[in-house]
């Protein structure tokens, strides 16, 4: 509110001076004209006044707000400049510098290392496409912090050497924070290389550790902008165990998922995210622990049908903390502290001490992580205890029969949201994703009245608006009338001075101003002083009027914001299930900002013109 108040004060000052700018400019023009030794004349003064009136809009209103827009533009440009000045990722580079901080030896600090090793033409031609590695890392090190890559905390990977060919399943295991996810992100070139080489061949598909779902239908989330191919789509749905979920929904895969998949369970989001990756039909699959969000039975189904069977002809890198999947891997990699400490066949690794240490560290770290997250999970489990049966049945014929489809259904008010009764055997009403409803046509009068009541009491507001408008208009009319009298007196004084010069008589001109029953003796100096005082009073009155009106509009925005906040806080939970959080926040940010900026000017002009 402090920033809004500061901006409102500036806008009030601009609007106040705008209404008095014509009189203020003519005052400065007259004073400069008199100081130059000229005498006032009606033809010069009123032509100048008409010119200043016509030019006050671009000069007194548009120009100040243009400066404000320039300052705002500078802020935006500075943000864009920071983004555009970020370090470029040039994949075509063939060399890179070496940094001596445990990544390379000090004696090689000034050397260069090729990004890609170039083989002879004969050796390249002798290797078939299936034998060529689709993913190859050689002594690869990377960092998050490009400004200080030598810092210990900045380096995420050290001396990684890895080669994955088509048809290989590589399983990476390690404790929490050992660098497993960072390795996948490095293959995606999300980290910055500090040493070594990295090469990928073919299209890459990636599944993140936390399922990413965007607002829309389930089908849209799986297709992800790609054209719909029924056979490929059905295959992805089947091997990701989503058929049973679709059959329980009235709209099937065209059901809306809500904002960030809030109407889905964790297992459903994980399977939809995995199905999206499978549908891409890529050459390289990077799977960052996609089985952690599903039950063990569902995990076995996904691992057997999806990863082992469907992706058997692909180059697959799977990150997991589930030890039972290591036995199916063609290559097992054990990581610790951003480094590969052991790799090879599982049976060979079991004979080493490091294998037992890594497995114990992995189980311990994930158990601690699970324990820390149980506090919030226990609270949610009370509400969704009925719906937790999702993803827990694994049939003999490799088909998944979920007992529930979790939060995609809306039960009766007495049951927590997201339950499905297997005993009743019927589908509850689906929780719809509500499209944003906007009123069309003319704005009802009650909306205007509500806004006016938020500003102040209608009668008090109307009285003060009339009082301020009448005061400013009275000063404006009086200044025009006084300027007319002043110019007439100045012309008469000029004639008197010319006549006095011929007769060698010098007398100061005195005008007798008649105001009703009163007569005032006014000299040209008196006319000037009164004109200056009235113009200054008009400027002050205009600014006070603008400040007061702007203050009431800020009050109206605050009142409407508080009313909306109380309604949102007091609404039912289903409201947040139907409406995305971004939409709700947009009402509190963009719409309130419109009240503070655009509506304030429009309503001020309307009120002043009508009155």
328 lies in the same domain as 263? yes
Alpha-carbon distance of 609 to 530, in angstroms, equals: 27
> Is the pLDDT at 423 greater than 70, yes or no?
no
> Is the pLDDT at 286 greater than 50, yes or no?
yes
> Is the pLDDT at 458 greater than 50, yes or no?
yes
> Is the pLDDT at 8 greater than 80, yes or no?
no
* Residue 296: strand pairing partners: none
Alpha-carbon distance of 535 to 537, in angstroms, equals: 5
Predicted local confidence at residue 412, as pLDDT: 29
Residue where a domain terminates, one of 391, 407, 433: 433
* Per-residue pLDDT reduced to its tens digit, 224-233: 989 999 999 9
Average pLDDT over residues 90-119: 36
- Of the pLDDT bands very low, low, confident and very high (cuts 50, 70, 90), residue 206 is very high
Average pLDDT over residues 547-576: 86
Residue 292: inside a domain: yes
Alpha-carbon distance of 69 to 64, in angstroms, equals: 9
How far is the first Cα of the chain from the last one, in angstroms, to the nearest whole number? 30
Predicted local confidence at residue 124, as pLDDT: 42
Task: For residue 398, give its domain range.
Answer: 87-433
Residue 442: inside a domain: no
> Is the pLDDT at 31 greater than 60, yes or no?
yes
Residue 75: inside a domain: no
Predicted local confidence at residue 268, as pLDDT: 86
Asked if residue 174 lies in contact with residue 362, where contact means CB atoms within 8 angstroms, the answer is yes
For 307, which DSSP code?
I
Predicted local confidence at residue 444, as pLDDT: 82
For the CA atoms of 298, 303, 305, 306, the dihedral, rounded to the nearest 10 degrees, stands at 110
* SS3 label, residue 173: strand
Residue 64: inside a domain: no
pTM given for the model:
0.61
Choice among 57-66, 309-318, 400-409, 455-464 with the minimum mean pLDDT: 400-409
Alpha-carbon distance of 465 to 524, in angstroms, equals: 36
Number of domains the chain contains: 2
> Is the pLDDT at 585 greater than 50, yes or no?
yes
* Per-residue pLDDT reduced to its tens digit, 36-50: 888 777 788 888 888
Average pLDDT over residues 243-253: 82
Alpha-carbon distance of 516 to 484, in angstroms, equals: 17
Q: Is pLDDT larger for residue 125 or for residue 260?
A: 260
Predicted local confidence at residue 381, as pLDDT: 41
* SS3 label, residue 158: strand
> Is the pLDDT at 377 greater than 80, yes or no?
no
Predicted local confidence at residue 587, as pLDDT: 85
Question: Which residues 6+ apart lie within 8 Å of 132 measured at CB?
Answer: 165, 201
Residue 61: inside a domain: no
456 lies in the same domain as 425? no
409-410 and 339-344 beta bridge pairing: unpaired
Please provide residue 200's backbone torsions phi and psi, each rounded to the nearest 5 degrees.
-130, 145
Mean pLDDT over the full length of the chain: 75
Alpha-carbon distance of 164 to 200, in angstroms, equals: 10
Predicted local confidence at residue 553, as pLDDT: 82
Alpha-carbon distance of 288 to 320, in angstroms, equals: 7
Residue where a domain terminates, one of 379, 403, 433: 433
209 lies in the same domain as 100? yes
Average pLDDT over residues 525-550: 88
> Distances in Å between the alpha carbon of 27 and those of 8, 21, 24, 33, 528?
28, 10, 5, 10, 9
52 lies in the same domain as 92? no
517 lies in the same domain as 425? no
339 lies in the same domain as 217? yes
- Of the pLDDT bands very low, low, confident and very high (cuts 50, 70, 90), residue 116 is very low
* SS3 label, residue 341: strand
Predicted local confidence at residue 33, as pLDDT: 85
Closest CA to 150 of 158, 161, 160: 158
30 lies in the same domain as 136? no
Alpha-carbon distance of 247 to 584, in angstroms, equals: 32
> Is the pLDDT at 555 greater than 90, yes or no?
no
Q: What share of the chain is helix, strand, coil (3-state, %, to 5)?
A: 55, 15, 30
For 325, which DSSP code?
G
Choice among 192-206, 209-223, 366-380 with the minimum mean pLDDT: 366-380
366 lies in the same domain as 503? no
Predicted local confidence at residue 105, as pLDDT: 34
Average pLDDT over residues 15-20: 80
- Of the pLDDT bands very low, low, confident and very high (cuts 50, 70, 90), residue 476 is confident
Predicted local confidence at residue 150, as pLDDT: 55
160 lies in the same domain as 100? yes
Across 62-71, 75-84, 463-472, the highest mean pLDDT is recorded for 75-84
Asked if residue 411 lies in contact with residue 428, where contact means CB atoms within 8 angstroms, the answer is yes
Residue where a domain terminates, one of 387, 405, 433: 433
Alpha-carbon distance of 273 to 261, in angstroms, equals: 11
Asked if residue 205 lies in contact with residue 157, where contact means CB atoms within 8 angstroms, the answer is no
> Is the pLDDT at 504 greater than 60, yes or no?
no
CA–centroid distance for 610 within its chain: 40
Average pLDDT over residues 177-183: 88
Alpha-carbon distance of 205 to 564, in angstroms, equals: 43
Predicted local confidence at residue 582, as pLDDT: 78
Residue 463's region, left for phi above 0, alpha for psi from -120 to 50, else beta, is: alpha
Residue 439: inside a domain: no
Please provide residue 235's backbone torsions phi and psi, each rounded to the nearest 5 degrees.
-65, -45
Average pLDDT over residues 298-303: 90
CA–centroid distance for 130 within its chain: 44
Closest CA to 186 of 286, 318, 111, 84: 286
Alpha helices in 251-295 (DSSP H): 266-279
| CATH code, domain with 211 | 3.40.50.300
Alpha-carbon distance of 133 to 130, in angstroms, equals: 8
Residue 438: inside a domain: no
Question: Which residues 6+ apart lie within 8 Å of 576 measured at CB?
Answer: 262, 584
Predicted local confidence at residue 369, as pLDDT: 63
> Is the pLDDT at 387 greater than 70, yes or no?
no
Asked if residue 410 lies in contact with residue 428, where contact means CB atoms within 8 angstroms, the answer is yes
- Of the pLDDT bands very low, low, confident and very high (cuts 50, 70, 90), residue 420 is very low
471 lies in the same domain as 548? yes
Choice among 245-249, 500-504, 589-593 with the minimum mean pLDDT: 500-504
Question: Which residues 6+ apart lie within 8 Å of 349 measured at CB?
Answer: 332, 334, 342, 343, 355
* Per-residue pLDDT reduced to its tens digit, 345-355: 888 888 888 88
Say which residue the tokens 């990701």 belong to.
240
413 lies in the same domain as 495? no
The beta strand positions in 87-132, using DSSP E, are 95-97, 112-114
284-288 and 518-523 beta bridge pairing: unpaired
Please provide residue 217's backbone torsions phi and psi, each rounded to the nearest 5 degrees.
-90, 165
Closest CA to 433 of 254, 300, 193, 197: 254
Residue 134: inside a domain: yes
176 lies in the same domain as 285? yes
């Amino acid at each position: 509110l402090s920033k809004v108040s500061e901006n409102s004060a500036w806008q009030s000052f601009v609007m106040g001076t705008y209404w008095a700018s014509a009189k203020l400019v003519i005052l400065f023009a007259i004073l400069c004209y008199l100081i130059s030794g000229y005498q006032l004349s009606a033809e010069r003064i009123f032509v100048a006044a008409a010119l200043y009136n016509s030019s006050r809009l671009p000069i007194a209103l548009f120009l100040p707000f243009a400066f404000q827009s320039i300052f705002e533009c500078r802020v935006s440009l500075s943000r864009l400049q920071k983004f555009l000045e970020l370090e470029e990722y040039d994949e075509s580079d063939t060399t890179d510098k070496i940094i001596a901080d445990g990544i390379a030896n000090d004696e090689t600090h000034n050397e260069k290392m090729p990004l890609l090793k170039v083989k002879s033409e004969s050796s390249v031609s002798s290797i078939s496409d299936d034998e060529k590695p689709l993913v190859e890392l050689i002594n690869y090190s990377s960092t998050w912090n490009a400004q200080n890559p030598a810092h210990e905390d900045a380096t995420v990977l050290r001396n990684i050497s890895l080669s994955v060919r088509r048809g290989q399943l590589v399983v990476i295991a390690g404790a929490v924070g050992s660098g497993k996810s960072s390795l996948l992100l490095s293959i995606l070139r999300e980290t910055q290389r500090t040493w070594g080489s990295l090469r990928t061949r073919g299209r890459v598909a990636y599944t993140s550790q936390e399922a990413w779902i965007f607002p829309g239908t389930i089908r849209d989330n799986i297709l992800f902008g790609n054209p719909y191919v029924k056979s490929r789509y059905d295959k992805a749905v089947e091997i990701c165990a989503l058929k049973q979920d679709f059959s329980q929904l009235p709209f099937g895969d065209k059901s809306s998922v809500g904002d960030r998949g809030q109407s889905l369970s964790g297992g459903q989001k994980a399977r939809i995210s995995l199905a999206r990756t499978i549908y891409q039909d890529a050459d390289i699959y990077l799977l960052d622990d996609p089985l952690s969000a599903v039950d063990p039975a569902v995990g076995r189904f996904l691992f057997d049908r999806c990863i082992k069977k469907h992706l058997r002809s692909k180059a697959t890198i799977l990150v997991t903390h589930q030890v039972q999947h290591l036995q199916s891997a063609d290559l097992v990699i054990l990581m610790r502290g951003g480094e590969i400490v052991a790799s090879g066949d599982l049976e060979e690794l079991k004979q080493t001490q490091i294998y037992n240490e890594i497995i114990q560290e992995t189980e311990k770290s994930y158990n601690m992580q699970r324990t820390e997250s149980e506090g919030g999970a226990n609270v949610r489990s009370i509400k969704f205890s009925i719906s937790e049966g999702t993803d827990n049945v694994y049939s003999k014929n490799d088909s998944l029969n979920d007992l529930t489809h979790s939060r995609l259904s809306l039960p009766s008010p007495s049951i927590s949201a997201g339950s499905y009764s297997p005993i009743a055997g019927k589908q509850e009403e689906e929780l719809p994703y509500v499209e944003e409803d906007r009123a069309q046509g003319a704005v009802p009068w009650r909306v205007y009245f509500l806004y006016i009541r938020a500003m102040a009491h209608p009668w008090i507001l109307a009285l003060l608006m009339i009082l301020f408008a009448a005061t400013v208009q009275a000063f404006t009319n009086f200044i025009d009338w006084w300027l007319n009298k002043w110019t007439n007196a100045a012309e008469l004084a000029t004639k008197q001075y010319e006549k006095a010069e011929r007769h060698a008589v010098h007398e100061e001109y005195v005008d007798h101003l008649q105001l009703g029953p009163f007569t005032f003796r006014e000299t040209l100096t008196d006319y000037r002083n009164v004109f200056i005082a009235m113009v200054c009073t008009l400027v002050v009155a205009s600014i006070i009027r603008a400040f007061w009106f702007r203050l009431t509009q800020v009050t109206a925005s605050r009142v409407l914001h508080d009313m909306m906040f109380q309604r949102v806080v007091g609404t039912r939970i289903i409201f947040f299930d139907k409406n995305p959080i971004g939409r709700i926040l947009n009402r509190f940010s963009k719409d309130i900002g419109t009240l503070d900026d655009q509506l304030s000017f429009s309503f001020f002009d309307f009120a002043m013109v009508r009155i």
